[in-house]
Amino acid sequence: MPEVQRIDVRGPRFAASITAVLLLVATFLSLIGVATGDLAAAPLSARILDPGFLLLLVIALLFVWGVASPRTAPWGVLYRRVVQPRLAAPTEFEDPRPPRFAQGVGLFVTAVGLLLHLAGVPWALPIAAAMAFVAAFLNAVFGLCLGCQLYLVLQRAGLVGRRRPSAA
């Protein structure tokens, strides 16, 4: 079987740090939006133009980018070109599949919040942003990637990460 490419463990933590800050701001903005009025009665255009919604939408698009093309995602490129050259050589590496899966989990959580917000569910946006923030914060500060842990559980159950048998 071919060797799985390994990545520097500091890269995903760096990306999680930036994502956590953005999600904290999105949570704050979405809480302000909830506090200022009746979301269910607001027209769809007002829900779309809500600053918390717009920022969480941008974050969700960054998650899409991280899933579709992790090598070109902005935080990874910033890490590899600006931060990593200034650090000592990496001593720890990891399989890139769990962090990529974690990006998909972040996308799922934020997408659910965005869709429920558009449907007029008042607390969906701040709750989704806060949940994603907690996950990004745990990864950034403690190196605990909840999406990666979920990947490993699903891998042990045989639901993800299976390799196809090579052709004979």
Encode pLDDT of 16-50 as tens digits: 999 999 999 999 999 998 777 777 778 888 899 99
Q: Roughly how many angstroms between the first and final C-alpha of the chain, as a whole number?
A: 13
Distance in angstroms (rounded) separating the CA atoms of residues 154 and 1: 21
Of the candidates 145, 163, 50, 52, the residue with the CA atom closest to the CA atom of residue 104: 145
* Structure confidence at residue 1 as a pLDDT band (50, 70, 90): very low
This prediction's pTM: 0.89
Distance in angstroms (rounded) separating the CA atoms of residues 24 and 157: 33
The reported pLDDT for the residue numbered 5 is: 85
Residue 129 tokens read as 């942003």
* Structure confidence at residue 76 as a pLDDT band (50, 70, 90): very high
Count of beta carbons in the 10 Å neighbourhood of residue 49: 12
